[in-house]
Amino acid sequence: MKMTNFEKYTKMRNLSNSEYKRSCEKLKSKLDKIIKHKLTEKLDNKNYEAVFAYLEKKFPNINLRSVNIYLCDSEFLESLGFLGIGGFYERINSTIIIPRKETQSKINEFEICAKLSIDEVLVHELLHYISDNIGRNNYSIELEEEFAYGNSLDYLKSKGYTNDEIIINNYLPFLYMSELLKLKVKNTKKINEKAKSNAISRGKELISVYSSEKPNNNNDNKDVESFLIFDFI
């Protein structure tokens, strides 16, 4: 069974320096291929002013307009091994890649999948860029994703989504995989149900935290690990 992107990049944290460097070079090579592909085009910020207005109001000191953002062919992404992702942020070159199709592939036979529009992916990945620029890029994957999912909450609510819709269509795939890895057992129907239930509970807790009066909750629990050069949704 193939590893998910979440499992791949969790594994990358444990590589030696030389192995990590080779992995970075390999990923950079794939990024270059994506950018040069005939169906890749640079995203026009003017078409997503609502996204930039939302984030610039929330984080006024961050220059979001300098990020390189590309829309690319979904099938070409998959041919390079980027399976079941809604988009990713590459740290070294401050680049965001977003596939054109708006529904993320299911991540396993239990029909766990996300339903994401391009603007929703863009908000999430720009929040990873923001996280880097406010000095959070050495936080754990869990805290990094909490920051991105949590700070996208008001944007998703502004589109009329209910809390349950946000959890199921946006938060669930990451939280589900996180819970599944914690269980460390064979992925069976029973285990899937437990992981999904735990993930939904965590989604509710996340919404509760970021729906409070505390703006830009950065979570002071500094579970520091070596950073990744990619952040996936």
pTM: 0.80
CB 38 within 8 A of CB 113: no
Residue 37: CB partners within 8 Å, gap ≥ 6?
72, 73, 76
Pick the range with the lowest mean pLDDT from 5-19, 45-59, 117-131: 5-19
Amino acid at 32: D
Residue 221 confidence class, pLDDT cut points 50, 70, 90 = very low
pLDDT of residue 91: 84
Residue 111 has pLDDT above 70, yes or no: no
E strand or H helix at 41: strand 41-42
Neighbour count for residue 186 (Cβ, 10 Å):
7
- List the domain boundaries for the chain: 5-232
Per residue in 191-201, pLDDT (tens digit) is 888 889 999 99
Q: Taking all residues of the chain, what is their mean pLDDT, rounded to a whole number?
A: 81
CB 216 within 8 A of CB 151: yes
Residue 57 confidence class, pLDDT cut points 50, 70, 90 = very high
